[in-house]
Structure 1
Amino acid sequence: MSHNCANIISPDMLYPFDARGVAKRFRHAAIFGALDSLHPGETMRFVNDHDPLPLLAQLMERYGDAIAIVYVAREPGQIVIDFSRK
């Protein structure tokens, strides 16, 4: 029995990514990997305990206009950002 993870599509094209559950030393690599896996029109809903401003700068440098960044929530301890592939 084979399984192809690339074929699993969310009906709303929104995929959750809770960074709080990823070890800090792996977070950026995991986030880049997740974003690289998105197809145009898909969104990764990112949840974190702090505002990742250095990460956002890295994402803009790496992806430029190919990704949209929209804050859904920006409360202390509860940051939610939608990253959408264009």
Structure 2
Amino acid sequence: MSTQETPIPAIDVRVIPPRDRHPLIFASLEALKPRESFMIVSDHEPRPLQYQLQTRFPGLFDWRFVEQGPETWRVVITREGGSDCGCCCGS
């Protein structure tokens, strides 16, 4: 019997106007349930976004690079499981 992994949804920010990227990403983060993930695909290193994420939601999300340039960066963000952080994203 084979086990198939569920594909991780992706947001390709390369096709989204710059002013709309972070609002879309943060709305997607807030919608994640514990242990759910999505991937961000970018044409630049998304370190500023990572710092914002760590500041707004310390310890709530795991950030894992799966590709690091030079032309494409892919990051999988996973919501950690089940603690109440008292933030607006419903954990």
Query: Structure 1 length normalisation: TM-score?
Result: 0.82
Per-residue CA distance 1:11-33 (angstroms, 9 max, x = gap): 72621111111110111111101
Amino acid corresponding to residue 33 of structure 2 in structure 1: H
**In the alignment, structure 1 residue 74 sits paired with structure 2 residue 51:** no
Give the Cα separation in 1 of the matches to 2:39 and 2:21.
Answer: 15
Report if the CA contact (8 A) 1:70-1:81 is conserved: yes
What SS does the aligned partner of 1:58 have? helix
Gaps of 5+ in 2: 81-91
Written as runs of structure 1 = structure 2, the 5 A alignment for 1:2-81 is 12=6, 14-81=8-75
Number of equivalences: 76
Give the Cα separation in 1 of the matches to 2:16 and 2:61.
Answer: 22
Task: Please identify which structure carries the higher strand content.
Answer: 1
What SS does the aligned partner of 2:33 have? coil
Gaps of 5+ in 1: 1-10
Task: Please identify which structure carries the higher helix content.
Answer: 1
Amino acid corresponding to residue 24 of structure 2 in structure 1: A
Q: Runs of 4+ in structure 1 displaced over 2 angstroms?
A: none
Give the Cα separation in 1 of the matches to 2:79 and 2:7.
Answer: 11
What SS does the aligned partner of 1:45 have? strand
